[in-house]
A = this chain, B = another copy of it.
């Protein structure tokens, strides 16, 4: 019944291919493939989701782009040294596979711009989009890929100047054509390029792109599936699992204060107040939406270099019960961001390719559980989000079983 599809070749093109998450994703995929570690953390490996006809890990081919040069083996060693999440032995064992990927990661320094960087340092927008498209094309041809999934894993960007042009496909085309770089970002350009090249698109960052209506229009026209924004890996994950408990007990939350200590590039970037806003915007509205009111609270993000890629979050939840008595819950979360993020990316690569193969296009609402700020989706609590995925899986399993039954009649 269960047919794996290892002859197909599926491409993964990573924007930000030398970052911690991307590196961990590639090292981890090769390690699972080699049977050196379990598939812990991959939701597509648990029932009933593993009954879907998803792409085999063996069929995945990695490539991508980064603004820094380097070799994957070196990057893997840096991550191993700083975060201790895997050993040099593992890197040695998969060294040749990692080296092979290097040839498919392009060094693209022209991608190092933002809507607020000096105008003279920004590339011409049309040329930039073309350049990205040609990278995608070359990667696809080189490996005779059946399908290509583009994943955005870049650092937090400054916000672009808002404009009505974002609302339509034509508007965004015009922004690019007229080189209106103040209303564009690299992430918007990657999305545009991905859709034009018929690629599925996953935005794991808080950066804009897949949330713009104009790009939805383009995705619909091109018939490609996509989703985002901002992978839900740590404190927000816990929040969306825990906040409903207080709601179900009518325990009114007086204050929910969060403190995040982190030592990776993300923490450093969030020191820049502009980026801080972009990130916190995605975190902020989660509680209001789940609880139906706005408790006092805030989120502090502090850069603590000694933590490496590990994050320690402390949350203080002050709540009121019967007779208006105040009580307290606290939690600490000590997780490694790239270890938490990478398997989610791997899941979504497989689910995106599956969706594309089924001819589905547009926002993949069934991936809502993976994001802090799921596009066009009001459901922010974890449990009902996960039900969306289960319902999607069920509907596809029934369809396949139905088809199988018909065949077996023949």
Binding site for B on A (CB under 8 A): 24, 27-28, 31, 37-43, 45-46, 84-89, 237-238, 241-242, 244-245, 247-252, 254-255, 257, 259, 261, 296, 298, 300, 302, 304-307, 312, 314, 316, 318, 320-336, 339-340, 342-344, 369, 382-384, 386
Contact = CB atoms under 8 A, between A and B. Distances in A.
Contact of A382 (B24, B248, B307): B248
A144 to B, nearest CB: 29
Q: For chain A, what secondary structure do more than half of its interface residues adopt (helix, strand, loop), or is it mixed?
A: mixed
Nearest to A369: B248
B327 A335 contact: yes
Closest A-B pairs by Cβ, 9 of them: A254-B306, A41-B322, A241-B245, A331-B331, A383-B383, A322-B343, A41-B321, A328-B334, A327-B335
Contacts of A28: 322-323
A261 B252 contact: no
A323 B249 contact: no
A410 B221 CA distance: 53
A323 B369 CA distance: 21
A285 to B, nearest CB: 19
A309 to B, nearest CB: 10
Chain B CB within 10 Å, residue with most, of A31, A261, A324, A334: A324
- Among A24, A259, A298, A325, the one with the most B-chain Cβ atoms within 10 Å of its Cβ is A325
Contacts of A307: 255, 318
**Number of chain copies forming the complex:** 4
A250 B334 CA distance: 17
A38 B325 CA distance: 10
A305 B312 contact: no
A188 to B, nearest CB: 29
Given A306-B254, A331-B329, A37 B324 contact: yes
27 contacts: A27-B323, A39-B250, A41-B249, A41-B250, A41-B323, A45-B250, A85-B325, A237-B249, A238-B242, A241-B245, A244-B383, A248-B386, A249-B344, A250-B343, A255-B304, A257-B302, A257-B304, A259-B300, A259-B314, A296-B306, A306-B326, A312-B316, A322-B339, A327-B334, A327-B339, A327-B340, A331-B331
Given A88-B88, A249-B237, A332-B330, A322 B302 contact: no
Contacts of A261: 255, 257, 316
A314 B325 CA distance: 21
A343 B323 CA distance: 9
Nearest to A247: B46
A304 B318 contact: yes
A238 B245 contact: yes
